[in-house]
Amino acid sequence: MFSSVAHLARANPFNAPHLQLVYDGLAGPCSSPAGPPGPPRRSRNLAAAAVEEQYSCDYGSGRFFLLCGLGGIISCGTTHTALVPLDLVKCRMQVDPQKYKGIFNGFSITLKEDGVRGLAKGWAPTFIGYSMQGLCKFGFYEIFKVVYSNMLGEENTYLWRTSLYLAASASAEFFADIALAPMEAAKVRIQTQPGYANTLRDAAPKMYKEEGLNAFYKGVAPLWMRQIPYTMMKFACFERTVEALYKFVVPKPRSECSKGEQLVVTFVAGYIAGVFCAIVSHPADSVVSVLNKEKGSTASQVLQRLGFKGVWKGLFARIIMIGTLTALQWFIYDSVKVYFRLPRPPPPEMPESLKKKLGLTQ
């Protein structure tokens, strides 16, 4: 067991191509002998599944991208809405740390002041906003992954796959945040300004009347600061963790795992990725929460006022929320792919052409 954990720890998701080849024992004829050769491994690339299965569409087709977008809507919209109470308390801890001193204290005060119904404040903009974000995040990620892979070619796609995941996810999140920003602004107003508005129908017209369109998009830059690093970590860490789990932890090849077993691996990898996501994106999340509450403030002013300690308020609540959220999102997204019989490429393996260049095949 401990050797498996050690192997997994060394499988750094940000390894450079040369280091990755050395780590895999595939650095070419100049590398030191590693004992007798093991059984041959089947070649798989990033975009082709090795398992014989009847799919409902081709990988990279228009239908494939549309159904991936639908999976993003379902996974993001439902999970974020289900966690509205925790998100509400987390936001209040960020904007008023003197009053809301901790997660349990925050729940207690919210229940005392607003009742159980108050914990659902902001559910409508959360559901709409994060459904739109999920559509763009997952749908565009699949699109950009194919586009960038085609630009790199098969060999470079394998060697630079972590960079590909990072670039594709960052590109997708850029557009996803533009779709999310208006509803995120309305949600924060509803959750953190008592008496301002209780519903989206009340908040949106009031915000437009007071500040115009700027009220809905002034937080888009901080959103990019928060969400782009978060999404880059979410996708790259997930992809490489899945690869490492199948390589070092799961006792049999992915092709021999049932759909249920594969979804369990998806959930575990999603939770691991979610913990790192929460830590990376939390300071910017604090700025977004305060910025959307206050009129006339800029991101730099809010950051300066909060200070280093202030931007980390509510981190524990966010780790719980984002870890669970990310795991559930990947689980639901992968389940949608299974339900619609979409191609689900296995972890990538070195192309035969690259093996020949490195003298690894006869």
Model pLDDT for residues 82-121, shown as the tens digit of each residue? 888 888 887 888 778 888 888 888 889 989 888 888 888 8
CATH no., domain 57-343 = 1.50.40.10
Cβ contact 246:256 at 8 Å: no
Helices 161-192 and 123-152 cross at an angle (nearest 10°) of: 170
pLDDT value of position 286: 78
Cα pseudo-dihedral 348, 350, 353, 357, rounded to 10: 160
| Rg of the chain over all Cα atoms, to the nearest angstrom | 22
Give the DSSP letter string of 212-246: TTHHHHTTHHHHHHHHHHHHHHHHHHHHHHHHHII
Against a cut of 0.85, is the pTM above it?
no
The first and second tokens of residue 340, run together, are: 């619609």
Q: Give per-residue pLDDT as tens, 327-358.
A: 999 999 999 999 999 999 888 888 888 888 88
The pLDDT > 70 percentage for the chain reads: 84
Average pLDDT, the chain: 82
Which is more confident, 145 or 277?
145
pLDDT of residue 20: 53
Q: What are the Cα distances from residue 65, in Å, to 40, 55, 90, 130?
A: 33, 14, 34, 18
Residue 33 and residue 118: Cα distance in Å, rounded?
A: 65
